[in-house]
Amino acid sequence: MSSDDRLIVALDVPNALQGLKLAEQIGDAVSFYKIGLGMLTGGGLALANELKDEHGKRIFLDMKLFDIGATVEAAVRGLAQFDLDFLTVHGDPHVVAAAKEGAAGSNLKILGVTILTSLDRTDLDNCLIKEGEIKDLVQERAGRAFDAGADGVIASPQEAALIRALPESEGRLIVTPGVRPAGAALGDQKRVATPANAVADGADHIVVGRPVWTADDPRAAAQAIVTELASAQAKRPNH
């Protein structure tokens, strides 16, 4: 069975050795992996390079960078030398613009984070985020990130259709964490959808972690998602 790079599997395990073991278990069922902050001190960059250079995998580096512009630009310039595929930064326009400067001359795609999929309105209130429905705030942040030059945005699958409806989304990527196959535990995710629904609503890529790497058979779990992405339920309207 061939892989589908619309599926990105999050290697949210403690270190590079466990990440490599998991990727080897999954084999050719998955072509795209996400490596995040949790593995940064456990050899995450080394694993990213090994998976890309020796196993031909695509890599999404999920760093969610946020700082003053000069610092973000310098950090992204350093990361761009690894020739990876996606990098996340917070979706604030000044951060996105600085990241694009740092990525100049490379193929690294800069994705702006809108609102984390683990947050709901109560969480936003506690963080002093302005009033409004999450879906509206996500759409607004996505539009501003696109205007600042983002190659794509990170949002929950519940907001994918709203973002895809933005004129600015033409030719841009929508990547959705918070994707859970039917029957899977939600964990710390609050705004979720199934793989098929996320893609049908406009996501270009879905990110799935625990439902794959905690499964008794991670390869089979990944293959089941790939099968779902090929189903009629995952077809976008008018496509």
Q: Which residues are catalytic?
A: 64
Q: What is the pLDDT of residue 234?
A: 82
Per-residue confidence of the chain (239 residues) as pLDDT tens digits?
A: 578 999 999 999 999 999 999 999 999 999 999 999 989 889 999 999 999 999 999 999 999 999 999 999 999 999 999 999 999 999 999 999 999 999 999 999 999 999 988 889 999 999 999 999 999 999 999 999 999 999 999 998 889 999 999 999 999 999 999 887 765 555 555 666 889 999 999 999 999 999 999 999 999 999 999 999 999 888 876 55
DSSP the chain: ----TTEEEE--SSSHHHHHHHHHHHGGG--EEEEEGGGGGGTHHHHHHHHHHHH--EEEEEEEE-S-HHHHHHHHHHHHTT--SEEEEE--HHHHHHHHHHHTTS-PEEEEE-S-TT--HHHHHHTTPPSS-HHHHHHHHHHHHHHTT-SEEE--GGGHHHHHTSGGGTT-EEEE--B--TT---TT--S-B-HHHHHHTT-SEEEE-HHHHTSSSHHHHHHHHHHHHTSGGGPPTT-
pLDDT tens sequence across 73-118 = 999 999 999 999 999 999 999 999 999 999 999 999 999 999 988 8
pLDDT tens-digit map of 112-132 = 999 988 889 999 999 999 999
